[in-house]
């Protein structure tokens, strides 16, 4: 079992789920260690994401924890498959781990829902628009740091255009659409790009008009990544110290309710497209 010093969010999540399995049947760490033929300390390392667990050992643990949810068990086994080097690894050591974790989360998602009230969703941003956001960061980023973030953001977008693209639903507040990041020309280009994206089969854009009044989560961005099974969904929010990844049952219930409100109250996809067309005409 290979060890690591800085596990990714995906590796941490597997460990968290394994601990849930073990404690759910009142299995002690000592018993689990004997069952898997490892030292007791390695169980703690596995559950913290520091060490891998082989697929055979994971299957043994699943069986002895009396997990009867076959879809969940299969998803756990897939989560445990050693990750191959992917495009975001090229940024390791150059960008914060949190940004790489977001890219990995999106890459493995079955569907992504994104709520934005300040700017256009990152997966749909143009280069000029994204650059203007990073240039305004405080403390100020160097030109190299800005360009690294722009390049990373653009590469994240390949999940929407790869051979098997992920489904994406973007709930965007009118205020975000009216924000002129990069000036009028950059904003016009961004809105036109958003219209084009909304015409793709796997991308849906829904607008929250200002006239709608109050709405849940005002001022907070939300990226909700649906997994192969609901138990492995993840809600990602932004904070002053970086991205937060939330997946406890209370958190998932809260953010699913948030998204249900959005789906019910936002303009339809067609009306949203017309709404954005009108904003372009105003520029």
What domains appear along the chain, each with residue ranges and CATH number? 9-80 (1.10.260.40), 87-282 (3.30.870)
DSSP state at residue 26:
T
User: Which tens digits make up the pLDDT trace of 5-27?
Assistant: 789 999 999 999 999 999 999 99
Is the separation of the CB atoms in 192 and 156 below 8 Å? no
pTM score, whole prediction: 0.94
Is the separation of the CB atoms in 234 and 225 below 8 Å? yes
3-class SS of residue 280: helix
pLDDT of residue 31: 96
What's the CA gap between 53 and 81, in Å, rounded? 9
What's the CA gap between 44 and 14, in Å, rounded? 12
User: Which tens digits make up the pLDDT trace of 115-147?
Assistant: 999 999 999 999 999 999 999 999 999 999 999
């Amino acid at each position: 079992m290979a060890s690591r010093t800085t596990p990714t969010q995906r590796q941490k999540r597997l460990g968290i789920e394994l601990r849930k399995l073990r404690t759910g049947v009142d299995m002690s760490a000592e018993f689990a260690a004997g069952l898997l033929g490892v030292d007791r300390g390695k169980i703690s390392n596995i559950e913290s994401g520091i060490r891998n667990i082989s697929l055979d050992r994971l299957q043994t643990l699943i069986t002895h924890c009396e997990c009867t949810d076959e879809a969940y068990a299969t998803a756990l086994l897939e989560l445990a498959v050693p990750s191959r080097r992917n495009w975001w690894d090229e940024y390791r050591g150059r960008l914060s781990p949190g940004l790489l974790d977001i890219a990995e989360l999106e890459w493995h998602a079955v569907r992504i829902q994104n709520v934005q009230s300040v700017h256009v969703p990152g997966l749909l941003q143009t280069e000029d628009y994204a650059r203007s956001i990073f240039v305004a960061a405080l403390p100020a980023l160097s030109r190299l740091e800005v360009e690294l973030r722009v390049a990373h953001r653009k590469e994240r977008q390949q999940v929407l255009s790869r051979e098997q693209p992920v489904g994406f639903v973007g709930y965007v507040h009118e205020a975000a659409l009216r924000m002129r990041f990069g000036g009028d020309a950059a904003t016009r280009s961004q809105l036109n790009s958003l219209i084009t994206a909304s015409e793709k089969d796997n991308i849906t854009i829904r607008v929250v008009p200002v006239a709608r009044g109050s709405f849940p989560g005002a001022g907070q961005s939300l990226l909700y990544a649906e997994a192969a099974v609901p138990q492995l969904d993840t809600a990602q929010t932004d904070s002053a110290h970086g991205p937060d990844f939330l997946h406890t049952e209370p958190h998932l219930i809260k953010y699913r309710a948030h998204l249900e409100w959005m789906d019910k109250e936002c303009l339809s996809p067609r009306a949203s497209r017309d709404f954005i067309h009108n904003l372009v005409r105003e520029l």
